[in-house]
Chain A
Amino acid sequence: MKKSIYILLFVFALTACDEGFEETNINPQRPVQVSVNTKLTAAQLFVSSERYDNWRAGLIYQSTMMQHIATTAGYWDGDKYTWNRGYASSLMDRYYGNAIKSLEDMLVQIDEEGLPAEMKAITRILRVFAFSRLTDLYGDVPYSEAGKAVLEDILTPRYDPQSEIYADMLNELQESAADLGTGTSAFGDADIIYNGDQGKWKRLANSLMLRLGLRLIKVDPAAAQSWATTAIAGGVMESNDDIFYVPHTAGPEGVNQNGNGEVFLVDGNPRLSKTFVDILQAGNDPRLPILGARRSDGSTDPADLIGFPNGLDANMLLDMTGEENMDNYAEPNRSVITGLDAPMIFQTYAEVQFMLAEANVRWGLGGDAETSYNNGVTAAMEMLSLYGDGGVIDPADIATYLTNNPYDAGNALEQINTQYWIATFLNEYETFSNWRRTGIPNLVPVNYPGNVTNGTIPRRMSYSESEQVNNKANYDEAISRQGPDELTTRVWWDVQ
């Protein structure tokens, strides 16, 4: 007995106290690296993003401010220009931690592994797109140092001036386009947007360059013209096959689903805005029964589709119409456009055609403005087939529409950008930016009690409140440069 205890003690003492600890602390479930291809697929879904920010920044704020959507529901703050900091900052709160982090990580991995130049170019284009959303919405944002907590140990990235961000983004697009050739990139089908088609990515780079270039029209018209010239010369989107969108599926998890679709699944409050429906009705637009349906019975008969005025609460609705609810009004058509598997569209051939038309009107660039306008309207109608059979429009109806709504050279910019505003329905980030750039269409603001904008349409969204604490010096610097962190402050390119 005694002997066995001594032996036990001896064995115990001989065993090193941390034997095997190094292996114990290696996570058995996590690899030290994964293929960059798997990261691209994820990053593309992250750029499309989730319900959280598509609901708050996208629909609750921008779609209502832009009078695509209207509702009585009090938490739809954009409808009435009230302020919910968490909603306003939602894109920032989600994008950096998912899309930006992944894209910055991919760029480092592509360099480290010496992967083909076209992979880096595609990643850079996607990165520019993600940052353009951020800077257009907030103005000065962390850019050069963002998403690099692990890569470069930057825990409190500085906010770059939007002027510098724009300069760099445009430069990035130009360099990336130059690195793209023809054929399929090494991403292959991991690229769920273009299946690795380098030509499409190149046209996208130039199309985004055209978009961002035109954005400068108020602050630096010469630069706008110069970049538009470069973009057009480089080759922009050529057909609806080039549309920049992320395809979604109805499941199996949230990451696969269209974030807007997730919102419509649970939120029955949004209605089509009266401003939007009235414009579609006036043009006898065949898109109306595809985009809208009556809430009460799903009817898509254009005669049944009534737009809901912005800026009303339930009581004001009752006072104004005697109606007790919003059931009689049109909502986004649940049988066509609100699916969990709907595409999330970022830039379309139609938009590019409208920009070409504008460039032609302004500077004589590109082809004939009328042709571009007609191409744009046609493409904007045809592209609804991306939503499935319910979105298909008879070509005859498109022709009729163009006949009834012909290009009007005397009112070209108004007409072109109103079409742009219609075509970017549900891509509200772009709607908001282009409206700020052009002021078209002329939206009449609402003046609801308690609004924080003195009855004007907001010009940006406010930063994450947490930045005031967690990144205070840089946040303060941005505020002192750009102006107060309010919805009425204008971003750099949005000069008065």
Chain B
Amino acid sequence: MKQKFKYCMLLFLFLIYQGAMAQNKTVTGTVTDESGSPLPGVNVVEKGTSNGTSTDFDGNYSISVAENATLVFSSLGYSTSELSVAGRSTANISLAEDASQLDEVVVTALGIKRETKALGYSVTQVDGEEIATVKTVNAINSLQGKIAGVNITQNSTGAAGSSRVIIRGNSTLTGNNQPLYVVDGIPIGNDNNGSASLWGGSDGGDGISSIAPDNIESISVLKGGAASALYGSRGANGVILITTKGGTKKEGFGIEYSTTVNFDAINTDLQDFQTTYGQGTQGRVPATQEEAINLGFSAWGPRFDGSSVIQWDGVERPYSYTGNNLKRFYRTGTTFINTVAFSTADDKSNLRFSITDLSNSDIVPNSSLNRKTFSLNGGTVLGEKLTLQVNSQYIVEDVINRPRLSDSPGNANFTVGLLPGNIDVNTLNPGADEDGNERQYNGNVFSTNPYFAAFNFRNEDTKNRIIASASLRYDILDWLYVLGRVGTDHQTLRTTRITPTGTLFNPLGDMNELNRRFTQVDSDIILGVDKGITDKFAVSGLVGANKNSIVREDLNLGGNQFIVPGLFDIANLRNQNRNRSFNKREIGSIYGSLELSYNNYAYLTFTGRNDWFSTLSFPGKTTPNNDFYSSINGSLILSDMLAMPTFVDFLKVRGGYSQVAGGAQEAYQLALTYEIFGQGHLGQPLGRVSGGTVPNANLVPFNKSEFEIGFDTRLFNNRLSLDFAYYANETTNDIVNVTTSVASGFGAASANLGKLENKGVELLISGTPIRTQDFNWTTTLNATFNESEITATNADNSDIALDEPRTRNVRIQQIVGQPFGVIFGTSYVRDNNGNIVYDIDGDGVPIARQGERKILGEGVPPWNFGWTNSFRYKNFNLNFLIDAKFGGQIFSGTNSIAYGAGLHKKTLEGREGGLSVTGVDGSTFDADAGTGTSFTTTVSPENLQTYWGRVNDIAEEFVEDADYIKFRQFSLGYTLPSQILDKTFLQSVTINLIGQNLFYLSRSIDNIDPESTYNAGNSQGLEYFGVPSTRSYGLSVNVQF
């Protein structure tokens, strides 16, 4: 059916093409710049028609026009010129550069397109092409390293996982710090549908990942508060505006087809465990099958000698290194992305329809994702003054077996990563015996056989999502319009999770079925003016109102103990439970904006907005539920105002100050409530206090203010450009959940006193070192430094505890006077000279004394860099991106456990001949004076296990710099020359070889990927047996008909 349809289209196109041939005259020519170099990509249009073409890489064009037509040549950065054909068949032209034209138009708040030069704040726009060339399953990951001030963290949660995007630092201590995503003017939800934490779990993916890269026309990142002032509270963390593609004006209608295939191979260079000592304990091998099971993760045996040694399954195998288990267990992941798009446009309307199919098989066996996106965008002029625009996307996403992460139950990565070198993971396959029971590899039932985890656990979800918006604009006068817009993001999620019968840690199994409904509706009405008052003075502005409502409802059916083994249905559960949760919140707003400009070189913008929050409203509440806030920003184009040296093409200075307020992020936080829970006991209902957070009836909106200055300049005939920004923002009255004592009965208390500051600089340098007819090289470096400091939490300035990893000896903590999210964990006890204090046990083994918890690192790296290079040689394009982060640390749970398991290379020390340890004898240590008697002893090889086993409790040992420099992206493209395509029905064909995450140029931490946190939440800097990181290679083809 699909094929047939495609042929029909081709036939149709051919007919149109024939029609176009009926034009009367063909004009060819070359377009050059003033120095005579050919200019590629110049638009050549027959004046007064939609007939047009563009120049190829040699500046040549060819167009059929009427005999007496006039051709209009236009290109960004050059003055537009016209040329009358007047019977000529060759028309060459040279275009003059025009610096004032260099100002691109960018999409700003509320979808308003503005010239960048008018903006008093920093906006970065990325073209869809950049995102579509090297596609990722989650499109937002393509932005990593490309935008100054934007810190994107990809996690080790599998291909279907979510990403963390932070703009200009975190702005709330415990709430959501990710930006607002706005698709075609409509805010969309970006909630995580589950993430891994202390006790395990899977990453349920985020909202932004559903947007197909091929549909993206452009992404605008509004970084500062000034940029996002008009989005109100939801824009407090910055706004990412995504404009999807509409129909473009061209002959007839266009078909575009693009296909990408990508292979993900596990990066085996990362993990470097010891391969010389195998399973055993105290320097000897297991003697029995049971001991082999109990020593499942104990590589404390003797040096490999090839002798025959019993293993967990009772089989004797050679005691020698069997090779890399990661390579054996994980497969090559594949991603296929196919998009076909149809578009058409004329003077009055435009239409684009596209279908994208994305199929991913993750490297974890039996894990996969399929996402289909149907997109229909259309706009039309209904009457003389009335314009309608409708955008819609329907997305269906099926994910099978999102990998389990963090804690060991069901986490295949855990077991695979910890097998001693003489155990071949293939011997654990299959994970279940013939009765469906898990084959026990390990004494601890909570360490699941990886094949059982991959093939017997079930975890499936289906998401149906509609993102749709309609806007109607009526031009009342030529300077006055009214615009109404309504949009929705509606999602339904269906999730099934099954722990099968026969699971060792849960022999009777359990299951859960979740139905989630999420609906967000936004409606706006805007009245706008745009008027020149005098020749030099112009004013534009708008007033508007917005209503936002979000409803989230979960229906859960679950239970445990399957009656008939292997039949995984709710009705087959001995114990059943069900619950429903409902959450509704609304924001009402009025807003306005006024822009003044003088002589096209001085601009001033004021905005103001008042938000009312349902989450801060309650009957009888006396504190405000709303707040008014405003912003001012301006820019001066100095290069237009003053005489500049000749090498300065453009110079702008800008500055602004903004405020934004926000409400509580969740509903129902103000009052204490009770609940009837469970299903009663012996016929009696069960009642209790609901929730574990102390409510606060007096919550008021939090505030964030930001100050920003910057400049933007272009030099040496636009060969070099520089954009610099300095910002400082502060959040006050942050609504936080401050951790309380366990003995208070509650885990946390809502407070309205949090304070947090960020200061930073953003620098973007872009240059074109080489620009010749055939060869072009542009290079762009962006650098960001963001420094954060927490200045208050609550009245007592108590710490706020965020997540902890399964080792439980370290936490991410918010501490006054420290940066956001420090790593806080157990340390060595040291004397005044820094020597480690040990307790000497009965066998004379020094046991490092576990000291108090200290700040061990910073979970969020303050330095971010990205360096992009593009080379063009004739029809070839080569692009690569190197990105780097510095200054942050990470706690590695994998390394910690690998110490105890004797797998870490550090544990090789002393295996032959013993380990000499020098330190302070704890029995003589005077903690107050900080002194004690020093000792030196040799730990015999059979006691090393005790020695290192204690070290693995001390978090300090496992916090290391997370610095890296990564070769992030690579693409080599070839565009078929237009001379070849002219003779076909094809308009353009581009082929790209692509690569992602190919290698590290530098990395500080051993064994793990420095970007391998296990969730995208506020607790960054914790690693614990995530999905190993991958390298990707692929090929993409884009064809336009």
Contact = CB atoms under 8 A, between A and B. Distances in A.
B808 interface: yes
Interface in B923-960: 943, 946, 949-950
A123 to B, nearest CB: 14
Nearest to A19: B588
A471 B288 contact: no
B742 A41 contact: no
Among A153, A154, A469, max chain B CB count under 10 A is at: A469
Nearest to A469: B799
Contacts of A324: 287-291
A190 B683 CA distance: 9
B674 A17 contact: no
A35 to B, nearest CB: 7
Contacts of A2: 474, 476
Interface string B543-586: 00101000000000001010000000000001111001110111
A252 B288 contact: no
Contacts of B943: 449
Interface stretch (A101-109, A205-213, A232-240, A408-416): A101-109
Contact of B588 (A18, A101, A153, A455): A18
Interface in A434-467: 447, 449-451, 454-455, 464-467
A150 B612 contact: no
B651 to A, nearest CB: 42
Given A26-B619, A192-B681, A150 B746 contact: yes
Given A86-B808, A150-B672, A251-B574, A28 B687 contact: no
Nearest to B576: A252
B668 A27 contact: yes
Contacts of A12: 525, 545
A13 interface: yes
Given A18-B617, A34-B674, A142-B741, A8 B681 contact: no
Nearest to B525: A12
B617 A21 contact: yes
B671 A469 contact: no
A9 interface: yes
Contact of B744 (A13, A35, A96, A313): A96
A22 interface: yes
A37 B503 CA distance: 39
A267 B443 CA distance: 11
Interface string A90-105: 0011001110111011
B443 A73 contact: yes
Interface residues of A, number: 96
Interface in B531-548: 545, 547
Contact of A17 (B610, B670, B692, B841): B610
Contact of A21 (B295, B507, B589, B612): B612
B401 interface: no
Nearest to B484: A8
Contacts of A114: none
Nearest to A36: B687
Nearest to B383: A1
A104 to B, nearest CB: 7
A315 interface: yes
A249 B287 contact: no
Nearest to A33: B674
Contact of B687 (A42, A251, A470): A42
Nearest to B289: A324
A27 B742 contact: no
A189 B682 CA distance: 9
A178 interface: no
Given A30-B673, A251-B575, A471-B743, A150 B689 contact: yes
Nearest to B523: A12
A97 B747 contact: yes
A194 B853 CA distance: 46
B852 interface: yes
Given A102-B689, A249-B682, A315-B281, A266 B525 contact: no
B613 A21 contact: yes
Contacts of A148: 744-745
A383 B505 CA distance: 32
B290 A325 contact: yes
B684 interface: yes
A102 B72 CA distance: 80
B744 A157 contact: yes
6 contacts: A8-B484, A21-B613, A100-B743, A189-B683, A314-B294, A324-B287
Given A21-B617, A92-B742, A100-B745, 4 more contacts: A29-B581, A102-B689, A255-B681, A469-B853
The 5 A-B pairs with the shortest beta carbon distances in the complex, nearest first, are A38-B687, A101-B745, A17-B588, A251-B575, A30-B673
Interface of B: 281-282, 287-291, 294-295, 383, 386, 443-445, 474, 476, 482, 484, 505-508, 525, 527, 545, 547, 559, 561, 574-577, 580-582, 584-586, 588-590, 610, 612-619, 621, 625-626, 667-668, 670-690, 692, 694-695, 738-747, 749, 796, 798-799, 801, 808, 813, 824, 841-843, 845, 847, 852-853, 943, 946, 949-950
